[in-house]
Structure 1
Amino acid sequence: MSKAYVFTRHGGPETQALIDTDRPDPGPGELLIAVRAAGVNPVDWKLREGLRRPGDTGERVFPAVLGSEAAGVVVAVGEGVSGFAVGDEVFGSTLAGGYAEYTLLPVTIAAHKPAALSFADAATLPVAAATAYDGLRQLALPEGATLLVTGAGGGVGVAAVQIARAWGLKAVGVASEAKREFLESLGAVHVASGDDWADRVPGAVDAVYDLVGGDVLTRAAGLVSGPGKLITAGAAEETVAALGGTRVVRARNAAVLEAVAQLVVQGDLDPFVTARYSLEDAGKALRAVEEGHARGKVVIEIGEQE
């Protein structure tokens, strides 16, 4: 038996529990890992409340383990797996939830963890950093171009600003006044959020990466023109299409994970892990993210660490 932090039905925090469960077995193309760290993201509580991702089919089976990303050590490999072996340190997107002592990773969205990368940092990359990377690659802006990021103070936004700077772009970040100093420390031009934020943007922008949606997305759309210059991870495809933009297209592959890991290793991307919790305190970790009290990334650490 092993421990996992789950939700037992759709709803609020009252549905969450730490339970004993059977250790999963890896199927074809899967890795079973002993989890060392799991990232905590807003999507975790949204899925608990009933969010269905694009492509989700069928009904969720309960209890369902929380978490979408994890890092750990391979303890078994499924049929047809190559390039991974027992004992390898890896990270990736989870099939069976990351808030657990053991979880499954599909080899298509798993990568070897560089020795210079901590388990905690690695566990934060598959969701926020990879989404930021996918969007910037989609925009394909030339060096020197100006990128405006809405919701720049969140996990994806902080990663997007850093990657943009590493790629020679000028980053303009829209976020609360409280995050001005933080964003400016990343090399971004800060624009305070509020109803008239678009009027305060200093000069022209070449593209917008929206992470908020709603009225913010509508105002952002007025700052750019031309196909492919407005992308969003904060609104539905039909909403952004009506404004002349598109959703971020997620690659969800090992190559992206390897790329963002290398950005961390070479010092161009800091995941900003600011809070660490045990598996027993996973509820507190998720509550910190759900209530918006966390600044930086939150991780749940399990088992031995470096």
Structure 2
Amino acid sequence: MTRPVTMKAMVTKGHGDLDQMVWHSAWPCPSPKPGEVLIKVGACGLNNTDVNTRSGWYSKTVSDATTGDAFEEVGTDDPTWGGAPLVFPRIQGADVCGRIVEVGAGVDPKRIGERVITDGWLRDPKDPLNKDKTGYFGSERDGGFAEYTTIPAQNAITVRSSLSDAELATFSCSYSTAEGMLTRAKVTETDTVLVPGASGGVGGALVQLSKRRNARVIALASEAKHDDVALLGPDLILPRAPDDLRESLRTEKITVVADVVGGPYWPQLIAILERGGRYACSGAIAGPMVEFDLRTFYLRDLTFAGSTVIDPEVIRNLVRYIEVGEVKPALAAIYPLEQLHEAQSAFIAKKHTGNIVVIP
């Protein structure tokens, strides 16, 4: 293949509202450096990291829920997931499915033509388990909201599947985030897992991956989305935020809460955990500031696990689950890349149940 000089790309110019994402029809096409591959993007998924990074929500100066809008004040030294300033302009988008069309020096040319999905965690190859030496695709380097992207070869994971590019682009972030949470919480067949926000991308993945571990799963979701959530296989579906969660659960004994919601409802989630229960968190879309009674925490022998940087084997295990059909995509909608503003607006408004992807 002759690599084009320019490509179409949606480029984020700075923190702020949707207008910070600017469409370019002739952005410079990247070339793979040593150890990297060039991917022709077939589809790229959306996730909360894209929204939060663009808006600056990760900054400690922000205490509101994720809205996707610009905030009055965003700290200049900690506005990204890693707590360091982002370099602009930046092409976001971590969840790529596509094909390798060129390789850099040191990469086997036989990889050209491989269909891949991306492992978003950019690790130090000499110290891959060191979480302080990680970056994120679409954050610390350009990602997939473009026709082409480059990534370290070890982060381009070969996948053999009859699923479409758009379907495969739903997995990388949402499902690896969910599997990372369940791994941290050590979920097994003896557990009953409560999943707030089960209609979202990570929430739906948590339902499927918990069932894969043979756990019992209770899903919380708005009633209008119960039919869609039911297709994911939970054992019980409750409204998004019952007034009395304990009463709604009746005899259910919750041993794990897997949460990406947070917000004002958070104390009820903690209050219903059984003694010795575990709480795993990888997001706070309803708000990062919560009311926390330490007595509930220590008197009930609870364990809390934050989950962001996942271990390298998680994404490879996920690809194996995909290839043998143990998980299925929850593809909600497809938008052209140039309509990324509309796609993010729909994502923020939770217009769809499941994952949204864009295609160049």
With normalisation by structure 2, the TM-score equals 0.75
Give the alignment of 1:207-226 within 5 angstroms: 207-225=256-274
Deviates further, 165-174 or 220-229: 220-229
Of 1, 7, 24 in structure 1, the residue corresponding to residue 30 of structure 2 is 24
Report the 3-state secondary structure (helix = DSSP H, G, I; strand = E; otherwise coil) of the residue aligned with 1:212.
Answer: coil
In structure 1, the residue matched to 2:358 is 300
Contact 1:139 1:228 in 2 (8 A): no
User: Counterpart in 1 of 2:65?
Assistant: none
Cα pair distance change 1:10/1:142, threshold 3 Å: closer
CA distance in 1, matches of 2:80, 2:292: 17
| CA gap 1:241/1:70 in 2 versus in 1, 3 angstroms | farther
Contact 2:194 2:257 in 1 (8 A): yes
Q: Percent identity?
A: 30
Q: 1:62 aligns with which of 65, 84, 88?
A: 88
- Say whether residues 1:123 and 2:184 are aligned partners: no
Q: 1:190 to 1:60 in 2, by over 3 A?
A: same
Q: Residue 71 of structure 1 aligns to a residue in which SS?
A: strand
Contact 1:4–1:21 (Cα < 8 Å) also in 2: yes
**Paired letter, 1:120:** A
| 2:258 paired with 1:199 | no
Q: Which residue is equivalent to 1:246?
A: 305
- Match of 1:215, SS state, is coil
Looking at structure 2, the residues matched to 295 and 204 of structure 1 have their Cα atoms a distance apart, in angstroms, of 27
35, 46, 57: which is aligned to 1:40? 46
RMSD: 2.6
Q: Is the 8 A contact 1:240 1:246 kept in 2?
A: no
Which residue, 82, 98, 117 being the options, matches 1:91? 117
Give 2:221's aligned residue. 175
1:84–1:199 distance in 2 versus 1, CA, 3 Å: farther
Could you tell me how far apart the structure 2 residues matched to 1:134 and 1:28 are?
A: 30
Contact 1:33/1:103, CA 8 A, preserved across alignment: yes
Displacement of 1:274 after TM fit? 2.4
Match of 2:278 in 1: 229
Match of residue 154, structure 1, among 200, 210, 224? 200
In structure 1, distance between residues paired with 2:166 and 2:50: 17
2:51 is the alignment partner of 1:5 = no
SS in 2 for 1:206: strand
Give the counterpart letter for 1:35 in structure 2. Answer: V
Structure 1 pair 87–150 and aligned structure 2 pair: CA distance change class (3 A) = same
1:125 shift after superposition: 1.2
My pick for the range that moved more, 265-274 or 69-78, is 265-274
Whether contact under 8 Å (2:185, 2:305) holds in the other structure is: no
Q: Which residue of 1 aligns with 2:75?
A: none
Structure 1 residues 193 and 86: alpha-carbon distance in aligned structure 2, compared to 1, 3 A threshold:
same
Letter matched to residue 192 of structure 1:
P
Aligned residues: 300
Q: Distance in 2 between matches of 1:186 and 1:63?
A: 38
- Please give the alpha-carbon distance, in whole angstroms, between the structure 2 residues aligned to 1:166 and 1:6: 38
Aligned-partner Cα distance in 2 for 1:228–1:180? 26
Aligned counterparts of 1:230 and 1:86: Cα–Cα separation in 2:
42
Partner of 1:141 in structure 2?
A: 187
Deviating more after overlay: 155-164 vs 171-180: 171-180
Q: Distance in 2 between matches of 1:156 and 1:240?
A: 24
Instruction: Give, in angstroms, the shift of residue 82 of structure 1.
Output: 5.5
Cα deviation, residue 227, structure 1: 5.8
Match of 1:72 among 98, 115, 130: 98
Which residues of structure 2 form unaligned runs of 5+? Answer: 1-5, 59-78, 121-136, 298-302
| Cα separation, partners in 2 of 1:294 and 1:180, compared to 1, 3 Å | closer
Rounded to whole Å, the distance in 2 between the matches of 1:223 and 1:79 is 54
Deviations along 1:8-52, one digit per CA (max 9) or x if unpaired, are 221111222211211112234332211111001232122111243
From 180, 187, 190, the equivalent of 2:237 is 190
The structure in which a higher percent of residues are helix is 1
SS at match of 1:64: coil
After superposition, the C-alpha distances for 1:100-145 in whole angstroms (9 at most, x for unaligned) are 0111223343310214332212211111011111111222233142
Q: Deviations over 1:146-191 (max 9, x none)?
A: 1111111111110110111122111001121222222233221112
TM-score (norm 1): 0.88
- Once the two structures are overlaid, the 10-residue window that deviates more, 96-105 or 263-272, is 263-272
| Structure 1 portions without partners, runs of 5+ | none
CA drift of 1:209 comes to 0.6
Letter in 2 for 1:39: G
